[in-house]
Amino acid sequence: MGARVCVVVLLLLGLPQSVVVGQSQQRDGNLYRWDGQQWLAVEGYGVRLSVGPDGAPWVVNSRNEIFRFVNGKFDRLPGAATDIGVGGDGSAWIIGTDSNVYRWNQGNWDRMPGTGVAISVDRSGSAWVVNAANEIYRWIPERFERLPGSARDVGAESQTFIVGTDSQIYRWESSKWSPLGGMGVRVSAGADGTAWVVNPAGDIYRWQNGSVQKLPGSATDVGANAKGDAWVVGTPGGR
């Protein structure tokens, strides 16, 4: 659901020599993990990611292949996707290459109602979806419920944020979207209502306790969880 690259020192710190997740370095960005002060390079590439409750990323690459980080390495999962979301309860959902919505059943992907272009999963395991018409939907028992507003991306955890069609960041408050200011292209919800944002220039920001902090680096996507674990997809080409 975000993304940034670290300072020049970090980017030179060690792009992997082999592509363990089977992506092309020209189209995919390197993966980085936030250690509290800087982005540390992790072997692997992707275009979209989400972070599970254990701090491990689930990644979609430019070939639409799906990977999960387990025991220090990426395991490929069945299926093909364009976006992925993992909730606080470990539930994983994807947008398939057919634009349909799917949920992981621990062995394969179950087709669910609805279509989308962006997806995120909240603390309870419910998916929030933005479709090709920029409409916003939230999963409630057995169906998707349409919400007001329009968006290009969504990030859900204990609170939910969107990137509106005006590129501004909004937070869901009871029955409406309240503007937070600032611009973005990707957003992910983290600990205690924290929003991690990548803006159109690839800059990375963390919105926390009413303040906005610019982080080092540049990215194309970002993912975070309720414990504060955060990963990004760096800018392809090593920016």
What does the pLDDT look like over 172-191, one tens digit per residue? 998 999 999 899 999 999 99
Query: What percent of the chain shows pLDDT beyond 70?
Result: 88
**Distance in angstroms (rounded) separating the CA atoms of residues 90 and 67:** 15
What does the pLDDT look like over 193-214, one tens digit per residue? 999 999 999 999 999 888 899 9
Neighbours of 211 (CB within 10 A): 7
Is 143 buried (19+), middle (13-18) or exposed (0-12) by CB count in 10 A? exposed
pLDDT band at 2 (very low <50, low <70, confident <90, very high): very low
pLDDT at 237: 66
Domain boundaries, the chain: 8-234
Highest CATH level, class, for 8-234: mainly beta
pLDDT at 6: 31
In this predicted structure, the answer to whether residue 11 has a pLDDT above a threshold of 60 is no
In this predicted structure, the answer to whether residue 22 has a pLDDT above a threshold of 90 is no
pLDDT at 3: 35
**Contact of 198 with 219, CB cutoff 8 Å:** yes
In this predicted structure, the answer to whether residue 4 has a pLDDT above a threshold of 60 is no
Token pair, residue 18, equals: 């082999």
pLDDT, greater one: 88 or 23: 88
**Contact of 39 with 216, CB cutoff 8 Å:** yes
pLDDT at 64: 98
pLDDT band at 18 (very low <50, low <70, confident <90, very high): very low
Distances (CA, A) of 230 to 22, 34, 79, 133, 156: 22, 6, 25, 29, 14
